[in-house]
Structure 1
Amino acid sequence: MGLRSKYHPAVLATALATFVCFLGIGIVDPILPSIAQTMGASHFMVELLFTSYLLVMGGAMLFAGALATRIGSKKTLLLGLGIVAVFAGACALASSVETLAILRGIWGMGNALFTTTALAIIVGVSAGNSEAAISLYEASLGFGIACGPLIGGVLGEQSWRFPFAGTSILMVVAFVFVALTISEPESERRQTVRDVLGAFRHSGIRTNAVVGLLYTFGFFTLLAYTPLVLGLGSFQLGLVFFGWGTLVIVGSAILSPRLNQVFGTRKTTAGGLTTFALILCVMWLSGGATNLLVALVVVAGLVCGLLNANLTTLAMGVSGHSRSMASGAFNSFRFVGGAFAPITAGYIGQHYGATVPYALATATVLVGLFVLLGRFSEFGFAQSEAHH
């Protein structure tokens, strides 16, 4: 069965745009050491490129869903892609880390407009097959993050500015593709930021958001901080995180649905959090051994892909709230919390030891596991889990 017969064309179009959009996260990874060296920036300062991006993206997700119900999902997608294209190009011209951080923050706003709306569109046009569509979305996201480091590594060998310029060009291509192929879907009822915040009144959304935040803290400690620890060149870092991202795809598109079917969502998600915490713990105790850290990073991609898919599925189905409200509330809380992981890791690593940040990441993921197990009844899995 081909992709066109399995998925709605709008799903494929949005998934492709998602791939292009998420290149922008991974493309920065292999050039972080180069930026730090060229601009004489500390680990803490260079990690602001991730923190500003995630912080603004998380905050913007509060109103992204509301905006989509007012101006339409397609226009919101295009607005997000346009912002990314412009400010990625501006990053290529920046002359200081502070300027880069500001531009990356605005870039994050564009990514928020796209991401929240893309997920709602994919689920909305996939009636009866939403789980498969979400897996495709997460796979596209993972593939974008995977190819980002590879592209960033290749272009970054010449100059750290080239990956930003390349991302801007790809964003323009994605903009044209979305404009020509995606029709405006049926809109959900109008909502406001207050409606999105009101979703947190649902205990299941609150619990899911807390688990997502704690997991995301560990996720971005691994993704954003590890390039500064490995001591590799841009191209080598690109290869490492390409391997990681490739396994993110396998974890989200293949491993997650199969394990959920066999063991149930509760056991699969809990097992994923346990395994991720174990990986982070070994990274903490590794003594900074490059080969061991590289192996752990790559293997972690499998677990990250599984958890990304499962937690996203939970966010979309945990309550009776609209898809955009549920995903907006979940992703906003998740990314705002995760935004503090890069600068926290950069500061701790610089002052207390290169691998110490992984100890904190281990603890946060374990707390997320305990929250999941302790308040599992709020996730509404009773029906799906009854067979396991």
Structure 2
Amino acid sequence: MTSSFFRSALILGLLTAIGPFAIDMYLPAMPSIGQDLGAENNAVQMSLLAFFIPFAVAQLFYGPISDMWGRKAPLYMGIGLFAVASIGCALASDVETLIAFRFLQGIGGAAGMVIPRAIVRDMHTGVQAARLMSLLMLVFSISPILAPLTGSAVIVLFGWRGVFWAVMIAAFLGLILLSTQLTETRTKEARSESGFGTAMAAYRLLFKDGNFLTLTFIGGLGLSSFLVYLANSPFVLINHYGLTPTQYSFAFSINAVSFFAVSQLTGWLGARYGLVRVMRNAVTGFSLAMVAMVVVMSLGFNQLPVMATFLFIGYGFLGLVLPTTGVLALEDHGEIAGTASALMGTLQFVTAAVAMGIAGAFFDGTALPMAAGIALCAVGALIVTQTTVARRRVVEAEAAAE
């Protein structure tokens, strides 16, 4: 691979990670934010949900806009809004103000999630796209490793408000890289053929595409399992298991190491066995690991090392599920890659928001409800895979035989 290939992966990964960075750095601060602002745990968790909802819905707008205006202009708007909202979060004097600016942060951060995936599709298809997507995931996955560690260090030095000043700086760095290192990948000819009418037609087409929806929800349920862990783990690991914010950051980072390390095998495995086969086997391994975790914990073996071991294994398989489903879902929609990426992101994060809300309703401060929520998402991904993808492969094979 050329140096430009790796440079593209680095820049796109950093732009994608800006929004999640605002989540992962924030996690170790959640208990202290509640204490400082006099807010209940549910209210602090609401500030996380307030980020996710617009983060999901705003992608529906960024996708078509990036098809019409090109990829760079919407990125400038979104990341700029994210930077301004970060300042508002840093200056918030009560949890309601924090929630409001987190909402604006989510709107801005959505641009960095949806548009880089469309750029990948602009540049490559097939296994080559999978390689670039897995490299993008590598950079993206560094966020859950470095962000909590960085966040805990920032909290020690500057308090929780320092976290938002830090992500504001990261956003400005993203703007600099965008303006100096990234070229426009959406041609003027392609832009001239795009409009709001074509965007609506594209959404109608995508909602009728069973293959696109299936792959989107498989990836969405996998993502949901991770976000259920993300929303509840600060309270489970810090309050229940008694970890310090720094110890929590290390524990949280271990799962990200597993995720990104295994994700780097996507291109090689896809070239050798095919992306669909890799995805199906990864979903199976992912669900088996998470179900085994709940069974073992239900039997009374609910110590932190036990749970951490199963999460490490399960999220390793998830490192194959997300890039393969993303590439396969966009494979047939190059002309509307921005719109398709937007709808995929929105459906996945809405699914995750619902899963987080349900898991939060059953959360009692212990580890088992969180583990059960993670496992249910994994089982859901397996059911969708076995009832749609596996059946479709049988039908295609029978048609080919005839």
The verdict on a shared fold, with TM-score over 0.5 as the criterion, is yes
Cα distance change, pair 85–366 in 1 and its aligned pair in 2 (3 A): same
Q: Which residue of 2 aligns with 1:145?
A: 144
CA shift, 1:9, in A, is: 4.7
Instruction: Within 5 Å, give how 1:146-161 maps onto structure 2.
Output: 146-158=145-157, 159-161=159-161
Alpha carbons of 1:10 and 1:362: their partners in 2 closer, same or farther (altered >3 Å)?
A: closer
Equivalent residue number for residue 364 of structure 2:
350
Number of residue pairs matched by the alignment:
380
Pairing 1:197–2:203 present: yes
Equivalent position to 1:370, from 378, 383, 387: 383
Aligned with residue 90 of structure 1, among 84, 88, 94? 88
Q: Which residue of 1 aligns with 2:177?
A: 177
Deviation at 1:207, TM superposition (A): 1.7
The answer (yes or no) to whether the contact 1:203–1:378 under 8 Å persists in 2 is no
1:47-126 alignment runs, 5 A limit: 47-126=45-124
- In structure 2, the CA distance between the partners of 1:358 and 1:195, relative to structure 1 (3 Å rule), is farther
Query: Corresponding residue for 1:223?
Result: 230
Q: Once the 2 structures are TM-superposed, how far is the Cα of residue 73 of structure 1 from its aligned partner?
A: 0.9
Between stretches 151-160 and 189-198, larger displacement belongs to 189-198
2:165 alignment counterpart: 165
- Equivalent residue, structure 2, for 1:242: 253
Q: 1:69 to 1:318 in 2, by over 3 A?
A: closer
The DSSP-based 3-state class of the residue aligned with 2:287 is helix
The farther-off stretch of 167-176 and 48-57 is: 48-57
2:58 is paired with a residue whose SS is: helix
SS of residue in 1 equivalent to 2:258 = helix
Task: Report whether the alignment pairs 1:309 with 2:315.
Answer: no
Q: How far, CA to CA, are the matches of 2:17 and 2:213 in structure 1?
A: 28
Give the TM-score, by structure 1 length: 0.88
Match of 1:324 in 2: 338
User: Structure 2 vs 1, CA of residues 259 and 42 (structure 1 numbering), >3 Å: closer, same or farther?
Assistant: farther
Which piece of structure 1 moves more, 227-236 or 239-248?
239-248
Contact 1:57 1:336 in 2 (8 A): no
1:361 to 2:367 alignment: no
- SS in structure 2 of the partner of residue 186 of structure 1: coil
The 3 A distance-change label for structure 1 pair 51 and 382 is farther
Structure 2 regions of 5+ residues with no counterpart? none
Q: 1:330 Cα deviation (Å)?
A: 1.3
**Residues 363 and 22 (structure 1 numbering): CA distance in 2 closer, same or farther, change over 3 Å?**
closer
Which moves more between the two structures, 364-373 or 270-279? 270-279
Instruction: Quote how far apart the aligned CAs of 1:263 are.
Output: 4.4
Distance 1:359 1:143 in 2: 26
Question: C-alpha separation between the residues in 2 aligned to 1:293 and 1:42?
Answer: 26
TM-score, with length taken from structure 2 = 0.85
Alpha-carbon offset, residue 172 of structure 1: 0.8
In structure 1, distance between residues paired with 2:33 and 2:309:
25
Give, in angstroms, the shift of residue 259 of structure 1.
Answer: 3.5
Describe the shift of the 1:315–1:127 C-alpha distance in structure 2 as closer, same or farther (beyond 3 A): closer
Deviation at 1:95, TM superposition (A): 2.2
Counterparts of 1:39 and 1:276 in 2: how far apart (Å)?
A: 38
Q: Is the 8 A contact 1:283 1:355 kept in 2?
A: no
Greater displacement, 21-30 / 289-298 = 289-298
| Distance of 1:278 and 1:44 partners within structure 2 | 31
Q: CA deviation at 1:176?
A: 1.3
Checking the alignment, whether the CA contact within 8 Å between 1:240 and 1:298 is kept in structure 2 is no
Do the aligned residues in 2 keep the contact of 1:252 with 1:305 (CA within 8 Å)?
yes
Larger Rg: 2
Between 269-278 and 157-166, the greater mean CA deviation after superposition: 269-278
2:348 paired residue number: 334
